Amino acid sequence: MPRPAVLREAYQAPAFLISQVALDVEIRDEHTVVRADLNIERQRPDIPLLLDARHMRLQAIAIDDRRLRAAEYEVSSDRIEIADVPQRFRLATTVVIDPEGNRALEGLYRSGPMLCTQCEAHGFSRITPFPDRPDVLSRYRVRIEAHRATYPVLLSNGNPVESGDLPEGRHFAVWEDPYAKPCYLFALVAGDLSCVEDEFVTRSGRPVRIGFYVDHGNESRVDHAIASLKRAMRWDEDHYGLEYDLDRYMVVAARDFNMGAMENKGLNLFNAAYVLASPDTATDDDYEAVEAVIGHEYFHNWTGNRVTCRDWFQLSLKEGLTVLREQQFRTASRASGVARIEQVQTLRAQQFPEDAGPTAHSVRPDRYVEINNFYTPTVYEKGAEILRMIEALQGPGTFVEGVRRYLHEFDGQAATIEDFLAAQESVGQRNLDGFRTWYSQAGTPVVRVEDEWRDGHYRLRLYQQTPPTPGQPVKRPVPIPIGFALYDPNGAELELPPTQGLVREDLILIEDEAMELSFGPFERRPVPAFLHGFSAPVRLDYAYTPQQLALLVTAEADPFLRWESVQELMILAHAELVDGEPGAIVGVLLETLQRLAANPPEDRALLAWLMSLPALTMLAERQARIDPEAVVAAHQRLKLEIGAALCGPFSVWAEWGSTGERGVDRRALSNVALDYLAAQGTSAALELARKRAMNSHNFTLVLGALNALNGTGSSQRALALAACRESWRDDPLRLDRWFSLEARAIDGDVAASLQILLDDSAFTWANPNRVRAVLGAFGTQNWRAFHRPESYALYARLLLRLDGTNPQVASRLSKPLLRWRRYAEPWGGGMHDALMTLSAERLSPDLGEMVTRALD
Ligand code: ARG
Ligand code: ZN
C-alpha cells in the first residue's frame, strides 16, 4: 500500500506542545537505549496523543511516573497513540534502537569511528517517540553515556554542563541548549575523533569556541573550513547585523552522509567532502564548495534555527533564503565576476530540467509523499532566485531591513513564506502579490521577444508564458524584472531616455502577459541585451543572429551576459553540427573565440568560462526530442573544431599549469585549454596531461589533467589513472574521484565495466559518496554509455539494490531515468521500460514517489 500524500491545505496547529525534553542516551555495543522525559501540554480538548516512532522497540511508557498498561496505548510501525492523557503531564518513554544496523543514515547511525545523527526531516522519530514536526519547539537537555575508550568524544547541541567517569570504563556528558528548537535540529555525536580548535569574537565581544571534529589524521585539512566559518560569521554581522548566539560552534565531519551538511543548532554535521581541503587533495572548486556549504549552514543559525518553518511545505522559507545569503556571501568574498555565472549554470543545468519534467513542483509545494524528495534545486535555487528578484525591486537596503523585521517578529517561532513576504511588504512600498504566484506556480516562464525597426524607431514586444506542469495546466503571469540595454551596431551602449515600461534605465518589469516598448529615434538598428546578471529565472526567447551575439560578447560589460552570448553562439554552432558540416555559424563562433583569445579580459577566470563548451544537458535541452547520440557527436565535433582553431593560445595557456603559475584563475584556464588539446589526441598534449596528472602537487591541476585524458582512451590515460588509484588508496575523498573518472569513461561492454567497479574491493554500497561517485557519475556524466536501453535496465536494477538499504540516495539517483518523455526513440522507450520494471517492485516511499510521478 503506497503511503498517502501529505497536503499543505490540511495543516493543523499542533494538538500538544512540548516545552522541555530530557534525553538520556545510553550507547551499548549491541544497541542504544534512549530514555525521554517530555513536559507536554495539550492545546485542544479531546484529542489523543500521537507520537511518531519508527524503527524502535518500546520498553516502557509512563505518564507522571505511572507506567501505562498495554491497554492504555497502541503501537504501530510508525507511531504510538495514547487515547487518554491529562491537560499537562510528563511522559517518560524507554526505547531500544539499533544504530549499527541503520543503513538509511537517518536518525542515529554509525559512520566510521562514530555514531552520529541526521534528523531533518524525520530522523528524530527514529531515535525517540516524538511529534516529529517543525512547529513543536522545545528546550533540550541531553545526557550521553558510552564506553570511554571507544567513544571519547560525546557531543550534543548547546553548552556542555556536566561530564564524568562511570564504572566499567564508561563515561557521560550532559549538554543543554538554551534555545527552544524543533526536533529536526537535534544532533548527537559519540566517537573517537580529533578536535581542531579556534576562536571567534563576535562584534559585541562574545568569545565563541570553534571546534572542528574530524577523523584522526585529517587535522591538517580543516584550515580552510575554519577560515571560511570565521569569514561567514563576520559577513553576517556586517551585512545583516546578525551575531552568533551560543558559546560554542561545532562542526563534525562524517564519512557517510546522505546530503551535503546539516545545520543542527551549535553542532553542524557535515559530509566530510565539504569540510576537508588541502591543495594536494582538493580542487579549487572543492575549496569554493567548502566555503559555500560552511557559510550556508552557518547562516541557517538565523534563517532556519532562530526562525524555523511551520511545516515542510515552507521549506524554501529557510532554504531559499539561506541559499541567497550564501550566494551573497560568496560573491562578496571573491574578486572575479564569475560567481553569478556559476549560480546560473547550476540553476539551468539542474532546476530548469526539473521544472520542465514529471517531478516539476512549485517552490512552495502543495503535496508530498516523502518530504526528502523535495530538497530540490527548485526549493533551494529557484527559491533563492525569487528572493533575488524581490531584492532587486525593493533595493538591497530595504531587503535587508525586511529580513531583519521578519527575524525580529518571528524569533523563536515557526513561520511561513507568507510571514516573510508580509515582513518585506511592511518595509517596502511594493505589493508582492505577484511573487506569491512565483511561489505557488511550477514551471519556468518563457519570455518571448519580438522586435521591429521602422522609421528610426525600435519597438519591442515581450510576451510571457509559463508552460503547463503536472497538476497545473493553466498558468498566470508573474512579475519578471528584465535587465536591459541597447547597443549601436558598432558596440556603443545607447542612452535610454525614461520610457514607459522601464522601471529604471536598465530594467524592464513585465507583469502582464504582454508588453510593448518603443525607443528611438536612432540612426541604425540597435542590438538588444536582456537579463543582466540573470535578473530573473526565465528562458529568454529572442532570435539573435550569430553576428549580434558576437557583438555582445565584446560590447557587454556584464560578465554573465558576455558568457551567455558565447554560450548561445556555441549552442547555435552545436545545432549546426547536429544537422551537418561546420558552416557559417561555426565560422562566427571560431572568429569570436579567436578575437577573445587575442584580446582577453583581465579576469582569467571569466576567460576560462568564455572558452568552455556548454554542458551536454544544456545542449540537449534545446532539442525538440533529445537524441543523445547526436548531441554527443556534435559536441565532440565542436570541441575538435575549437581546439584546432585555437591551438596556439590553448598551448600557451595549458603550459601555465606547468610553469608554476599560481592562482585559481590561471589554473582554471589552463585546465580548459588542456582539455581541448588532449581531445586533439596529439602525443604532445597527451604527454603533457599525463605528466601533470602524475607529478603535480596541485590537485586542481591533477584533476584537470585526468579529466582531459579521461575521454581519450589513450595509453597515457590508463597510466595516469592507475598511478592515481595507487597513491589515493588511503584517502576516501580522492578515491571517490578515481571511481567517478572510471564511471565516466565506461564504454563498450557497459555491464562488465560497471561490474568491475562494483566488485572493486574499495567499493561499498554503504557509503553515499562512493555510490554517487559510481552511479551518479555514470548516470549524469557518461552520456555515451548511459544512454542505451540496456544501460537503463541495468541502472534500474542498481537503484533497486540501493533502495533496499538507502532509499533517500536511491531516490535522488533515479533522476536520470525520469524524463523519458523528452527523449527520442529508442531512448525514451528504454527509460520507460526501466521505470515500469521498477514500478512492479516493492519500492520505498522515496523511490516509489519518483517513479510514480515519472510514469503518471
Ligand atoms: N537543511 C540541510 C541544508 O540544506 C539539508 C538537510 C536535508 N537532509 C535530508 N535528509 N533531507 O543545509
Ligand atoms: Zn540549507
Closest CA to 458 of 515, 510, 516: 516
- Provide the residue type at 640 as one letter: L
Q: Which three cell numbers stand for residue 513?
A: 502577459
Which strands make up the sheet holding 207-214, listed edge to edge? Answer: 194-201, 207-214, 248-254, 267-271, 261-262
Q: Tell me, what's the pLDDT at 499?
A: 83
Q: Tell me, what's the pLDDT at 482?
A: 98
Tens-place pLDDT, residues 676-710: 999 999 999 999 999 999 999 999 999 999 999 99
CA of 121 to the centre of ligand 2 (A): 12
Tens-place pLDDT, residues 734-779: 999 999 999 999 999 999 999 999 999 999 999 999 999 999 999 9
- Catalogue the long-range contacts made by 26-29 (C-beta closer than 8 Å, 24 or more residues apart): 26/145, 26/146, 27/99, 27/115, 27/144, 27/145, 27/146, 27/147, 27/151, 27/190, 29/147
Q: Tell me, what's the pLDDT at 758?
A: 98
Q: Tell me, what's the pLDDT at 1?
A: 67
**Alpha-carbon span 125 to 136, nearest angstrom:** 13
Which whole number is the average pLDDT over 344-364?
98
Taking 80 as the threshold, does the pLDDT of residue 662 lie above it?
no
Taking 80 as the threshold, does the pLDDT of residue 593 lie above it?
yes
Q: Whose CA is nearest to atom 3 of ligand 1?
A: 262
Taking 70 as the threshold, does the pLDDT of residue 506 lie above it?
yes
**Alpha-carbon span 297 to 320, nearest angstrom:** 13
**Spatial contact of 512 and 468, defined as CB atoms under 8 Å apart:** no
CA of 311 to the centre of ligand 1 (A): 15
Taking 70 as the threshold, does the pLDDT of residue 3 lie above it?
yes
Taking 80 as the threshold, does the pLDDT of residue 461 lie above it?
yes
Indicate the DSSP class of residue 614.
P
Q: Whose CA is nearest to atom 1 of ligand 1?
A: 262
Of the candidates 297, 319, 354, 576, the residue annotated as catalytic is 297
Percentage of residues in the chain with pLDDT exceeding 70? Answer: 100
Q: Tell me, what's the pLDDT at 605?
A: 96
**Alpha-carbon span 310 to 415, nearest angstrom:** 5
Percentage of residues in the chain with pLDDT exceeding 90? Answer: 97
Taking each helix axis from N to C end, the angle separating 315-332 and 383-394, rounded to the nearest 10 degrees, works out to: 70
**Alpha-carbon span 840 to 793, nearest angstrom:** 13
pTM of the model: 0.98
Tens-place pLDDT, residues 43-55: 999 999 999 999 9
Taking 80 as the threshold, does the pLDDT of residue 301 lie above it?
yes
Atom of ligand 1 nearest to the CA of 371: 11
Which whole number is the average pLDDT over 168-187?
99
Atom of ligand 1 nearest to the CA of 293: 12
Q: Tell me, what's the pLDDT at 661?
A: 63
**Whats the size of the chain, residue-wise?**
856
In the residue annotation, 591 being an active-site residue is answered as no
As for the ipTM of the complex, it is 0.98
Strands 248-254 and 207-214 come out as: parallel
Tens-place pLDDT, residues 537-579: 999 999 999 999 999 999 999 999 999 999 999 999 999 999 9
CA of 199 to the centre of ligand 1 (A): 26
Protein residues with C-beta less than 5 angstroms from the ion ligand 2: 319, 322
Q: Which residues contact 21 (CB under 8 A, 6 or more apart)?
A: 36, 37, 38, 39, 130, 138, 139, 140, 141, 183
Q: Tell me, what's the pLDDT at 2?
A: 79
**Alpha-carbon span 383 to 364, nearest angstrom:** 9
Tell me the H-state helices in 746-826.
750-759, 768-771, 777-781, 783-786, 789-803, 807-813, 815-818
Q: Tell me, what's the pLDDT at 536?
A: 98
Taking 90 as the threshold, does the pLDDT of residue 14 lie above it?
yes
Which whole number is the average pLDDT over 59-64?
98
**Alpha-carbon span 500 to 853, nearest angstrom:** 44
Average pLDDT value over all residues in the chain: 97
Q: Tell me, what's the pLDDT at 660?
A: 67
Which whole number is the average pLDDT over 588-617?
97
Atom of ligand 1 nearest to the CA of 123: 10
CA of 184 to the centre of ligand 1 (A): 10
**Spatial contact of 266 and 177, defined as CB atoms under 8 Å apart:** yes
Q: How far is CA 747 from CA 520, 619, 628, 827, in A?
A: 57, 21, 15, 17
